[in-house]
Structures are given as structure tokens and as C-alpha cells.
């Protein structure tokens, strides 16, 4: 049982869960799957930027913008469900492009702080424009166009699968080389002919558009949006906890992390919800433990476990690049 085998079966299982749960699942399962898929989209999106050396501290900016784009398009112009999602994708891509252009050569903490500022800025704008956004009171989705809960749940499943496919396609393309080179050393990468801004703009646009999509589907799911909900710091934090917990810079890591984060969060909430603060405390402790004992995330932990087992049974050496995917 090698990594490839485990990896393929997990991907297939994930794909089936994402797309079949809305059809066959119980309401609880549908709910958990919906939230997991939403986090998968955000986590993969965050990880895409991180893979190019761009640490985002403001993923809720894309999430919230997508939510507002969808609700405004639908309430003001009667835009149907699928078209509103497309609008959110475009809005997120534009914000991503803008972010790449504003930040220019900023790296590391400077880039991170800018993303945080963008997210806070958008939240303030949403509060300050009550005529457009409903202000702090928020806005309700006009129910005329509601396509039904099943369609919305299905859309999140498709979004999660689609986001993973995009990440997979990137990992098999020349972009994978440019992003890793830029992450390691943007200066030296230029001497090999890489124009960093081009690849930055590409990845922030892609990452931003899918994160916006998650926000848009969430709005259709909840039917309500307000600035605090849309640009919630919690979104920003979970979008980076999931990939770090699962395995940063990898394909499967953000997905594993999203599943784990959702399940651990639910388990502590249900198990310890009656004691004030205990669920968050335990959730936090589990995360700290994971970071301490699984420095390469869940994905790295699985790889290590399988590696040890295969060494014990038959000492066949693993190819050196088995840890890449």
C-alpha cells in the first residue's frame, strides 16, 4: 500500500462525498459536507497564493466580495443563481489582479499586512454604503430566484471539486515551476527569465476568484449577508489553518486540513458545547498538538506512516520525489 494508492483512493472518496452527499445524504451530512466543501475551496485558494510565496491574511476580502457581488446582482437585477456565481468569480479575479498590482514587489509580511488592510477596508466600505449594501443591518436575498437548497449544496460540491482540479492542473504546468522558484527566491528567479508580476497576477486572480465563489454560494445558502459576516476574521484564519494543518504547498494537504478542521470543530462544539469556552480551548489545543507533532501536516504524517510501514515489510526505497504531491 503505497502513497499513490492511498492518495488516489482518498481523492476518489472525496469526490464522491462532495458530489453525492447532496443527493443521498441526511440533512446533517449535507450540512457538514457543505461547510467542508466551502472550506476546501478557501483552503486550496489560500494555498495557491502561498505556493507562490504570497501569504494572505485577508482571504475574507475575496469571500465577502463574492458574497456581496452575488446578493447585489440578484437583488438589483434579478440575476439568476448560476450567473451570479459567474459574476462573483469575475469580481474576485479583479480584486486579485488589483491586489497583485498594488502590492508590486511586496513580499512576506508586507504583502500579508496589505491583504489584511484590503479585507478591513472592504468591510468598512460595506458598512459605509448602506444604500447599496444594506450597511451594518445587512441584506437579505430576495427569494424569487432561489434555486432550491439542493442546487446550492450541489454548487458548493462542484466548486470544491473544480478548485481542486484547477490546483491539480497548475501543479502539472510550467506555473508550478515559476511559483516554487518565486517562493524560494523571487530575485534569483528573474535571472532565469521569470517575470514575477505576471505570475503573481495570475495566481492572485485565480485564487481570488475561487474564494469569491465560495462566498457567493454561502450567501445563497444562508440568504443573508452583513459586513461582519462577510469579512469575518474567522474566514481568514480558517482558510490558512486548514492548509497548514493538512500540509502546506501540497495538493491534498488543504483538502485533508479542511476536512479535519471541520470535523474537529464540530466534535468539540457538540461534545463540549455545554461548558463555556471549553470547545474552543480544546480545538485550539488539538491544533497546537498537530503543529507540534505533524510539522508537515496530516499529509506529511500519512506519507511518513506509509513510508515506515513499507520499509518494515520490504525495504524498497521510495523515489525521492514521492513527497511532492
Within 8 A by CB and 6+ apart from 134, the residues are: 225, 226
Using CA atoms, how far apart are residues 222 and 141, in angstroms rounded to an integer?
Answer: 9
46 binds another protein (CB under 8 A): no
Q: Which of 76, 151, 185, 304 binds another protein (CB under 8 A)?
A: 185
CB closer to another protein, 23 vs 184: 184
The DSSP H or E segment spanning 227 is helix 227-230
Enumerate the β-bridge partners of residue 224. Answer: 140
Q: Please identify, among the stretches 40-48, 88-96, 181-189, 218-226, the one whose residues bind another protein according to the rule CB under 8 A.
A: 181-189
User: If binding means CB under 8 A, how many residues of this protein chain bind another protein?
Assistant: 24
> DSSP letters along 119-147, please?
HHHHHHHHHH-HHHH-GGG-EEPPGGG--
Closest approach of Cβ 322 to another protein, in Å? 10
Using CA atoms, how far apart are residues 179 and 311, in angstroms rounded to an integer?
Answer: 33
- Report CA torsion sign: 13, 17, 23, 27: positive
Closest approach of Cβ 207 to another protein, in Å? 20
Per-residue binding string, another protein, 226-265, x by CB under 8 A, is -----------------------x----------------
Q: Which of 24, 143, 148, 191 binds another protein (CB under 8 A)?
A: 191
Q: Please identify, among the stretches 42-50, 114-122, 225-233, 316-324, the one whose residues bind another protein according to the rule CB under 8 A.
A: 316-324
4 binds another protein (CB under 8 A): no
Are the C-beta atoms of residues 95 and 211 closer than 8 Å to each other? Answer: no
194 binds another protein (CB under 8 A): yes
Using CA atoms, how far apart are residues 113 and 92, in angstroms rounded to an integer?
Answer: 19
In eight-state DSSP terms, residue 225 is E
CB closer to another protein, 53 vs 246: 53
189 binds another protein (CB under 8 A): yes
Q: Which of 4, 172, 308, 309 binds another protein (CB under 8 A)?
A: 172
Closest approach of Cβ 318 to another protein, in Å? 11
CB closer to another protein, 54 vs 210: 54
Using CA atoms, how far apart are residues 140 and 219, in angstroms rounded to an integer?
Answer: 9
Q: How far is CA 67 from the centre of its chain?
A: 15
Across 165-188, b (16+ Cβ under 10 Å) vs e yields ebbeebbeeebbebbebbbeebee
Rg of the chain on CA atoms, in Å = 20
Q: Which of 192, 234, 315, 316 binds another protein (CB under 8 A)?
A: 192
CB closer to another protein, 186 vs 266: 186
317 binds another protein (CB under 8 A): no
Helices (H), 129-193: 130-133, 149-171, 174-190
Closest approach of Cβ 116 to another protein, in Å? 26
47 binds another protein (CB under 8 A): no
Residues that bind another protein (CB under 8 A): 172-174, 177-178, 180-181, 183-185, 187-196, 249, 319-321
Amino acid at each position: 500500500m503505497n502513497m499513490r494508492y492511498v492518495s488516489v483512493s482518498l481523492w476518489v472518496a472525496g469526490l464522491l462525498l462532495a458530489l453525492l452527499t447532496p443527493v443521498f445524504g441526511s440533512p446533517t451530512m449535507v450540512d457538514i459536507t457543505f461547510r467542508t466543501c466551502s472550506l476546501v475551496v478557501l483552503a486550496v485558494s489560500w494555498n495557491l497564493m502561498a505556493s507562490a510565496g504570497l501569504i494572505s491574511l485577508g482571504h475574507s476580502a475575496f469571500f465577502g466580495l463574492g458574497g456581496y457581488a452575488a446578493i447585489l446582482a440578484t437583488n438589483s437585477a434579478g440575476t439568476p443563481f448560476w450567473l451570479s456565481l459567474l459574476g462573483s468569480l469575475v469580481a474576485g479575479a479583479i480584486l486579485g489582479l488589483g491586489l497583485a498590482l498594488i502590492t508590486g514587489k511586496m513580499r512576506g509580511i508586507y504583502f500579508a499586512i496589505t491583504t489584511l488592510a484590503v479585507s478591513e477596508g472592504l468591510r468598512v466600505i460595506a458598512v459605509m454604503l448602506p444604500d447599496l449594501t444594506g450597511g451594518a443591518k445587512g441584506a437579505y436575498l430576495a427569494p424569487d430566484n432561489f434555486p432550491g437548497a439542493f442546487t446550492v449544496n450541489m454548487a458548493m460540491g462542484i466548486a470544491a471539486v473544480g478548485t481542486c482540479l484547477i490546483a491539480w492542473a497548475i501543479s502539472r504546468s510550467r506555473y508550478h515551476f515559476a511559483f516554487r522558484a518565486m517562493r524560494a527566491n523571487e530575485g534569483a528567479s528573474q535571472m532565469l527569465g521569470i517575470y514575477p508580476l505576471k505570475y503573481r497576477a495570475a495566481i492572485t486572480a485565480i485564487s481570488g476568484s475561487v474564494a469569491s465563489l465560495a462566498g457567493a454560494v454561502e450567501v445563497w445558502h444562508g440568504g443573508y449577508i452583513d459586513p461582519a459576516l462577510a469579512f469575518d476574521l474567522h474566514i481568514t484564519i480558517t482558510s490558512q489553518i486548514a492548509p497548514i494543518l493538512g500540509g502546506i504547498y501540497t495538493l491534498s494537504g488543504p483538502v485533508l486540513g479542511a476536512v479535519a478542521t471541520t470535523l474537529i470543530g464540530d466534535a468539540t462544539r457538540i461534545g463540549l458545547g455545554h461548558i463555556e469556552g471549553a470547545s474552543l480551548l480544546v480545538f485550539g489545543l488539538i491544533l497546537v498538538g498537530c503543529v507540534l507533532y505533524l510539522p508537515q501536516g496530516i499529509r506529511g504524517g500519512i506519507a511518513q506512516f506509509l513510508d515506515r510501514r513499507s520499509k518494515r515489510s520490504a525495504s524498497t526505497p521510495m523515489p525521492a520525489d514521492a513527497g511532492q504531491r
